[in-house]
Amino acid sequence: MPGAAVILLPLVVLLAACGGEEVGAKPELPTETPALWNPCDALDAAFVKAEFGSETTEHAGTPTKPECRFAPAEGSGDAVVTANYLLFPGTLEEAWKTMGQQADADVRTPTVDGADDARVVVNAAEDQLYVTGFVQNGDLIQQVDVVDPAPYDEKRIVRGVTAALGLLSERAAETGAGADPSATGS
C-alpha cells in the first residue's frame, strides 16, 4: 500500500494545481428542444381572412412552444382560429376514442389529400359556433379550432376548417413531419 500512496500523492498535488486556473464562462446551452414544427408555417392571416372572413393578428409562439393563434380585434365579432398538433403513435380513430366525444356529436369525415384520416366536429351553442378539425399524417395529428360568434356561416366555417386541414396535411407531407423514421431510414 505504501506504493499506492506514493503514486496518489503526486496526482493529488497535480489536481490541486489545476484548481487555481481561470476557467472560461460556461456556454449557454438550449434548455428546451425546438418543437417539431409550427402549424403557423402552413397557415397565415391572409388564409384566415380568405376562408373565415376574419381580420386577425397571427401569434406563432416560440420555437420551443409554438402557439398558432389568429386573434381578431376585440369586439370585432370575427372568428378566432387556433391550430396545434400532437404526436400519437396510433391512429386518429384510436385517439378519437380517448377524446370523450358525445354520442350525438355532429362528426364529419372529410377527405383530405395526403392524410391518413380526418374528422370535423361541429357544435352550435349559446350563439356561438364551435368547429374543430383533426387531420392525421403518420404519427402527427393536427387540430384546428374555430370559434365564431353569431351571426355565423356554418358552411363557410366548416369549409374553411377543411381547407386548413388540407394545408396542414400538405405541409406535413412536404416536411416529413409525422413520418416513421424507420420507414425513411433516418
Q: CA 169 to CA 135: how far, in whole Å?
A: 7
pLDDT tens over the chain, length 186 residues: 455 444 444 444 444 444 455 655 655 555 566 677 889 999 999 999 999 999 999 999 888 888 899 999 998 999 999 999 988 999 999 988 888 777 778 999 999 999 999 999 999 988 999 999 999 999 999 999 999 999 999 999 999 999 999 999 999 998 888 776 444 433
Q: CA 153 to CA 116: how far, in whole Å?
A: 28
The residue among 60, 79, 70 whose CA lies nearest residue 159 is 79
36: CB partners within 8 A, 6+ apart: 85, 87, 140, 177
Q: CA 87 to CA 82: how far, in whole Å?
A: 17
